[in-house]
Structure 1
């Protein structure tokens, strides 16, 4: 194991990697057509299509002239207990790897969707739903799938679906170890996003949770054969390491987060890995972590072989807004002032695009430090300036004023009430810190560029980004201490709900759809196991709750099942929600402050802000100019009323660009696969899907036929209107819609072309 020391790393040379000879997974024969797949963008053996995370395919059988002829050629049902929020399948030698029913790992015939083998994970609480990682030895005698479940990294044989017992301990590596915390106290550390393989290393980030005392988000590399830790980079620096002086003394012992939970990318030629990192915990209050807080909210470049530091750029100092970097950094070569420059392009939650020289982190266009508003929260020391890109226009709205309130909210009284909320909130620009009153955060902590949001076209040097406009209304208050009261399990569960769930799911448990679902009948719909998993491990965008023990969760479930049995006395309310005493651990005078995520929706489930709620933006990266921007998708319930071009609400995932001139993306709120012209943004075709598509499409070719595959979830949670009644989902529906859909041109059309 190598613990990285913090000395400036220089002299990075150009390091070439060896070619990999490709053999058939089934027969073991040489397949010359796949020998150059890793560099030619014609395969999909890595999450996002390649280690460079381009989300680009060089296949062009499906193009502008025939995309309207696409037909569904197979569907594989994953069941309601399959992936959570969109998955990106891998395809190797005609075999597709996906997550199936009850969190199984499944190998499918990529031309028919028929099962080849199924690996039973025995209903784990947590699995890396967005995808998995494929690795093969140079002679292809050893081929593996790697994925995380229950905070362990697992390896199975890609040909048989059997555990690789020699990996780690009996086929698994405990990811909770080596983080400076007692492993048994860590509720969540694995990421839903898969890691990447570079040579014989499995490199990974983590998802640590969003609460106080979450574990740190160290980035790590493991030997892909043995599972042994090779290197580890402390994202919250230890004594003697670079950046230690940007935190209080010994912050690494209690600060968590500062993690890579979205995508990252690797420049395989240079051997550089680029990590976009997230905010430190707690997200919205940092009195216990004064300073700039490196390496939170940084694009961090490391030597992929050793984990040694190369460069970084921090996009948010002392983050108080949960402005994680999570969209995959895109590697491009642009024509800048007449010179070809290798760059890395990073989209942010805040709507900004950052572009750096790939080798040294120097901004391609100026980024200015500008004064920003000061926090008025006791004990908080907000950073006085923040970096603003000066050349590339933002892709998301960065303010929300009263005249921007959604005109399609049916109740005029509700529209007026939202306008008053907007007018009454503190809003002095994009970096207005949270306050004890209300603060407007736009595009919002779940807005802007998110996981899977970026894609590139290397042929035209165009960068595409999917974005959500999702303002948040933040309201900091002292977090009440955990209190036990006498009473029935339902009454005690009501207390747990009030202190931990009510700020987001609201007092009547109806939620704020589509981002925050209703909890009415949730135990009947999802089952106790899924509810426990969500509370224990988190469920995007919901954080894990590490301070709730088994009894607390038991009581919460009892309350959610039978809220009418709760009999909390009115005089207990003030006591339960009272601020903590001054003996609590963190903050001025011992106080901890917290806020809900503040998603702003109407009672119908519509956004408080007017459309478009999601957009697809194209940038000419040679010039840094915006080429075009369009609303991305629609909302079915509004289309039925004649209201169009609103954008989807909210998409999860991203697009793939193709050499056939296409942008391919699915949107959940209208349950459609959209195909756009990559040069103009004009829609070429759309396909109505039985389920709500999420994740990143996979584009691949088998036996000369090109396919588009993507995942879709059960479309039971409507954007507008009431949530489904419990009786609607107590059993598996007769017609399965959650799973994987594959599309291709008709055989006759393909033959003509």
Structure 2
């Protein structure tokens, strides 16, 4: 499935610098390759025409299912790419309704191949586009390979009159690329509808909800690691995986990939082989699926994690007033809840970590000099309730039917026996029922895999019915960035601020009020020795923050 994405963020220096691996673009002023914002363009610097046009290009996927190649200097289409600079990503899709297939993240660009994936509508129906991942020639746009995660032969390219697999697991979040290994790392989702899996075949489960590693030049499988088995909670991999080289206990350098999961687990894998570097043993989880479905007996639990250390109790229920807290406790006892991975139910299940996840598409920021990772986990429970499909309730979408486009409210799940309602677990006045904090900024030591510090981030100023700025720690969409000087920058919170923190201890160094929600990942660059930080303040419709169309730059003090 897909999660809602941020508006396009400020385009970075890759377009001007000729960066070939453009997801994400790093900067000499930064100690990290911060996660690229969703919907951002990628850049390439491969000659296309002898007359000098399109020597540097912007490769721009848009949400009607097309990818455009533009001259970075003029904005003109690259005539030698696709159909006059236009690549139709809807080709051979089983359904081509506009808006049902959306490439929400930048493609990975190598010196040979453009690797493109995309999002589909969550929980809408069993007749949706494929989650196929494709590789196109970086110069001409010619299709070089395909990897359809739901097909018996994932590399089979459909012939005339054929199409890719309906509803195969998709990859909507940003991917990462290791040029030395020529491997692209793709965070995978689950076959939609997400909250019921009684109709899933082994082929449709094989590459669902995990990290998929493909050889970028050929599209052949390198390895796959599944982070949730038979996913019934929309616990798809929401974040760009982060590549880093770490020193193990024997002093050896190990190339790893960090995989932040909605479950709060941080999976650490050898990026050459997919083998676990940090243990993630299989542990029993609650059983008892809805009629016609089943639940995996175990799930992997990483030793490096932000997941809750204990199950919620009624003592964890919270409210702005005593009445509010009482209602939250009553609702808590009415729901099914047996801890992490409580199955969806007709009774209504408390899902914690919630469907929004502890980690979202912002990902991690790695400080390679200090060997630490910066994370911003969320702690917001959700409630899911299955709705039996009764007489007169169609299994197939009716003409003009559309999904909600959000992760809240009634989801029709056409084609399966149940619809579902998904909502944050909120009090009657619209505040989370779980006691604060609901969002943190934190640092992890990559040498010991221990959390060094964790602090609340964000206030209720822009989301409370009463405009009072309680520092409760707020839910977030967007990621952190850390500079070589040891300063973390992050927007993301449900209040409209960009903040800076000391990476060593979490002390807040600075903050600035934004004119709209900062649901984006900041970036940094330097010009003539002066360093800048830029963020797109566009807000987020489904997140409820103030909308805008701002791109704002701040200058760091001169040294």
CA contact (8 A) 1:667 1:674 kept: no
CA contact (8 A) 1:202 1:224 kept: yes
Residue 698 of structure 1 and its aligned partner are, at CA, apart by 1.6
1:214-613 to 2 correspondence within 5 Å?
214-238=128-152, 253-254=165-166, 256-289=167-200, 291=202, 293-338=205-250, 339-389=252-302, 391-395=303-307, 399-408=311-320, 410=321, 412-480=322-390, 539-541=405-407, 586=416, 592-613=417-438
Matched, 1:59 2:29: yes
Structure 2 CA distance for aligned equivalents of residues 393 and 680 of structure 1: 20
Aligned to 2:6: none
Matched, 1:627 2:455: no
Structure 2 CA distance for aligned equivalents of residues 240 and 641 of structure 1: 52
Structure 2 CA distance for aligned equivalents of residues 239 and 358 of structure 1: 24
Residue 540 of structure 1 and its aligned partner are, at CA, apart by 4.5
Query: SS where residue 413 of structure 1 aligns?
Result: helix
Query: SS where residue 212 of structure 2 aligns?
Result: strand
* 1:47/1:311 CA distance change after superposition, 3 Å: closer
User: Which residue of 40, 46, 50 maps to 1:137?
Assistant: 46
Structure 2 CA distance for aligned equivalents of residues 185 and 737 of structure 1: 28
Structure 1 CA distance for aligned equivalents of residues 224 and 15 of structure 2: 40
- 1:376-409 CA-to-partner distances (Å, cap 9, x unmatched) read 41111222221122x223255774322112232x
* 1:625/1:174 CA distance change after superposition, 3 Å: same
CA contact (8 A) 1:152 1:173 kept: yes
Query: SS where residue 220 of structure 1 aligns?
Result: strand
Structure 1 CA distance for aligned equivalents of residues 443 and 352 of structure 2: 21
Matched, 1:706 2:555: no
Aligned to 1:688: 513
Residue 690 of structure 1 and its aligned partner are, at CA, apart by 2.2
Residue 186 of structure 1 and its aligned partner are, at CA, apart by 6.6
RMSD between aligned residues: 3.4
Residue 273 of structure 1 and its aligned partner are, at CA, apart by 0.8
- 1:678-718 CA-to-partner distances (Å, cap 9, x unmatched) read 12111111112222212111211123321111011369999
Residue 457 of structure 1 and its aligned partner are, at CA, apart by 0.8
CA contact (8 A) 2:82 2:142 kept: yes
* 1:373/1:718 CA distance change after superposition, 3 Å: closer
Aligned to 1:249: none
Query: SS where residue 311 of structure 1 aligns?
Result: strand
Aligned to 2:471: 645
Structure 2 CA distance for aligned equivalents of residues 195 and 643 of structure 1: 39
Q: Where does structure 2 lack aligned partners over 5 or more consecutive residues?
A: 1-12, 157-163
Query: SS where residue 329 of structure 2 aligns?
Result: helix
Residue 166 of structure 1 and its aligned partner are, at CA, apart by 2.7
Aligned residues: 525
Residue 362 of structure 1 and its aligned partner are, at CA, apart by 0.9
Bigger Rg over Cα: 1
Aligned to 1:527: none
Moved more, 151-160 or 594-603: 594-603
Aligned to 1:208: 120
- 1:80-106 CA-to-partner distances (Å, cap 9, x unmatched) read xxxxxxx968xxxxxxxxxxxxxxxxx
1:116-195 to 2 correspondence within 5 Å?
130-137=39-46, 142-149=55-62, 150-179=64-93, 181=94, 183-185=95-97, 187-195=99-107
Matched, 1:742 2:553: yes
Structure 1 CA distance for aligned equivalents of residues 316 and 478 of structure 2: 26
Residue 546 of structure 1 and its aligned partner are, at CA, apart by 9.9
Structure 2 CA distance for aligned equivalents of residues 671 and 418 of structure 1: 27
Query: SS where residue 119 of structure 2 aligns?
Result: coil
Q: Where does structure 1 lack aligned partners over 5 or more consecutive residues?
A: 1-21, 26-33, 39-44, 51-56, 62-86, 90-128, 243-251, 485-498, 501-531, 548-583, 587-591, 725-735
CA contact (8 A) 1:399 1:443 kept: no
More helix by share: 1
Matched, 1:616 2:446: no
CA contact (8 A) 1:396 1:448 kept: no
CA contact (8 A) 1:671 1:692 kept: yes
Query: SS where residue 330 of structure 2 aligns?
Result: helix
Residue 479 of structure 1 and its aligned partner are, at CA, apart by 3.2
Structure 2 CA distance for aligned equivalents of residues 686 and 644 of structure 1: 16
Structure 2 CA distance for aligned equivalents of residues 420 and 652 of structure 1: 30
* 1:23/1:261 CA distance change after superposition, 3 Å: closer
* 1:399/1:194 CA distance change after superposition, 3 Å: farther
Residue 185 of structure 1 and its aligned partner are, at CA, apart by 4.5
CA contact (8 A) 2:112 2:217 kept: no
CA contact (8 A) 2:346 2:387 kept: yes
Runs ≥4 residues deviating over 3 A: 22-25, 45-48, 138-141, 183-187, 239-242, 395-400, 479-484, 535-547, 637-644, 714-719
Query: SS where residue 222 of structure 1 aligns?
Result: strand
CA contact (8 A) 1:279 1:319 kept: yes
Query: SS where residue 420 of structure 1 aligns?
Result: helix
CA contact (8 A) 1:351 1:397 kept: no
Structure 1 CA distance for aligned equivalents of residues 406 and 78 of structure 2: 30
Structure 2 CA distance for aligned equivalents of residues 482 and 187 of structure 1: 27
* 1:352/1:148 CA distance change after superposition, 3 Å: same
* 1:397/1:425 CA distance change after superposition, 3 Å: farther
CA contact (8 A) 1:187 1:544 kept: no
Structure 2 CA distance for aligned equivalents of residues 669 and 273 of structure 1: 32
Relative contact order, higher structure (CA 8 A, sep 6+): 1
- 1:583-605 CA-to-partner distances (Å, cap 9, x unmatched) read x954xxxxx21212222223433
TM-score (norm 2): 0.85
Structure 1 CA distance for aligned equivalents of residues 364 and 170 of structure 2: 19
* 1:398/1:664 CA distance change after superposition, 3 Å: farther
Residue 425 of structure 1 and its aligned partner are, at CA, apart by 1.7
